[in-house]
């Protein structure tokens, strides 16, 4: 009789899980499992073992997309803005440098105490001589990174990695009307790919560059060209590392991205910055109206902005000029028109640095 009363809740209430929490827990656990699988595949590739392509099923993609990566990326962005105490900066940045192999000798400011928060450290500038821009080739790498794929676009499909493709039209969106483009176009062809080619005898080429977390996070103009149009696709923020790109078909079409379209001396030219987990922020220096990873967005939508209507000549960009930045690693996709004798000077899987040659005529 002297014992205290133990108040208990019904078993059904104790184990009640809300659908959102269940999705987060399940999706997060599965994403962790996929990370482990990706790591094993990378180790096999390093040993020279050819890994067969195994694409995710629709339910696996839906499960991955159930993880609130957009919310997590915004939270990560807020955390990056928090000013660190001076005494804590060197230990945190040193751990990051050791983990991802960052070369701080290339940084314009090598003193780690100079960077007030993680965001400043991620967006660090390089010494002017650290990345000489190749003058002998017509197209250079816009960023540091790893070459995932390159070559001619065939049958309106683009390879994100070897053996895994995505639709050119789904990636770029509907064709921009002729009135918004400042250069002459050839008669429209039957396919979306043919409509992009403006000069007879030219071909459409692509190149995919993956930026790892330890890479230099700014990107630059890959050639002399003129930007006439911007298209922003809100979307998911799934990881874009090579393992996931090999697993999810049309991964780049699912993710948030900013497509810059214009022309260079050989016709159509585009550069697309693809967002990823913890990379909700994509910044284009000359576009102050662009706001990525917004809390309110419509699934499957996109918004356009024309630089021709606001600036008669569009936005001229010089080869090597600063163009934009990510908050962490992500992906750059180039799709452009060039004569048939255009040659890439690349190997799939190679590391490349901003300023080095991609290809030339």
Residue 288 has phi, psi (to 5 degrees) of: -75, -15
Catalytic, out of 38, 138, 143, 144 = 144
User: What is the C-alpha to C-alpha distance for residues 50 and 243, in angstroms, rounded to an integer?
Assistant: 13
Catalytic, out of 217, 220, 229, 266 = 220
* CB contact burial 296-321 (16+ within 10 A = b; e otherwise): ebeeeeeeeebbbeeeeebbebebbe
Say if CB 64 and CB 104 are below 8 A apart.
no
58 is catalytic: no
170 is catalytic: no
User: What is the C-alpha to C-alpha distance for residues 277 and 238, in angstroms, rounded to an integer?
Assistant: 5
What is 133-153 written as a DSSP string?
PPSSSSEE-SSSEEEEEEEE-
Q: Taking the C-alpha atoms of 56, 62, 66 and 68 in order, what is their torsion angle to the nearest 10 degrees? A: 60
220 is catalytic: yes
What is 176-230 written as a DSSP string?
PPGGG-SS--PPP-SSHHHHH--STTEEEEEEEEEPPTTS--EEE-SSSEEEEEE
Catalytic, out of 73, 138, 270, 330 = 330
Is residue 334 classed as helix, strand or coil in its secondary structure? Answer: strand
Residue 330 to residues 48, 184, 200, 215, 239: CA-CA distances in angstroms? Answer: 25, 33, 34, 10, 8
Which residues participate in catalysis according to the annotation?
Answer: 144, 220, 330
């Amino acid at each position: 009789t002297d014992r205290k009363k133990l108040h208990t809740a019904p078993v059904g209430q104790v184990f009640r899980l809300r659908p959102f929490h269940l999705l987060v827990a399940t999706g997060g656990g599965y994403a962790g499992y996929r990370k482990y699988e990706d790591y094993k595949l990378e180790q096999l590739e390093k040993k020279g073992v050819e890994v067969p392509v195994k694409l995710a099923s629709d339910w696996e993609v839906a499960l991955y997309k159930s993880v609130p990566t957009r919310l997590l990326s915004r939270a990560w962005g807020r955390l990056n803005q928090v000013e660190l105490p001076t005494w804590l900066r060197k230990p945190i940045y040193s751990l990051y440098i050791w983990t991802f192999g960052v070369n701080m000798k290339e940084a314009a400011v090598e003193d780690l105490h100079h960077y007030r928060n993680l965001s400043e450290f991620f967006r660090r500038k390089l010494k002017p001589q650290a990345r000489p821009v190749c003058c002998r080739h017509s197209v250079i790498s816009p960023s540091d990174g790893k070459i995932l794929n390159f070559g001619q676009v065939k049958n309106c499909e683009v390879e994100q990695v070897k053996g895994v493709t995505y639709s050119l039209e789904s990636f770029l969106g509907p064709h921009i009307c002729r009135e918004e483009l400042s250069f002459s176009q050839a008669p429209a062809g039957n396919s979306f790919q043919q409509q992009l080619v403006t000069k007879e005898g030219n071909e459409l080429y692509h190149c995919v560059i993956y930026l790892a977390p330890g890479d230099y996070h700014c990107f630059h103009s890959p050639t002399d060209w003129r930007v006439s149009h911007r298209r922003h696709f809100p979307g998911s923020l799934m990881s874009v590392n090579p393992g996931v790109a090999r697993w999810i078909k049309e991964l780049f079409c699912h993710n948030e991205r900013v497509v810059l379209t214009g022309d260079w001396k050989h016709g159509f030219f585009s550069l697309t910055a693809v967002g990823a987990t913890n990379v909700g922020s994509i910044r284009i220096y000359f576009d102050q109206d662009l706001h990525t990873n917004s809390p309110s967005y419509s699934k499957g939508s996109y918004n356009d902005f024309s630089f021709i209507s606001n600036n008669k000549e569009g936005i001229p960009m010089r080869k090597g000029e600063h163009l934009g930045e990510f908050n962490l690693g992500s992906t750059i996709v180039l799709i452009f028109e060039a004569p048939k004798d255009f040659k890439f000077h690349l190997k799939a899987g190679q590391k490349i640095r901003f300023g080095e040659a991609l290809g030339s005529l």
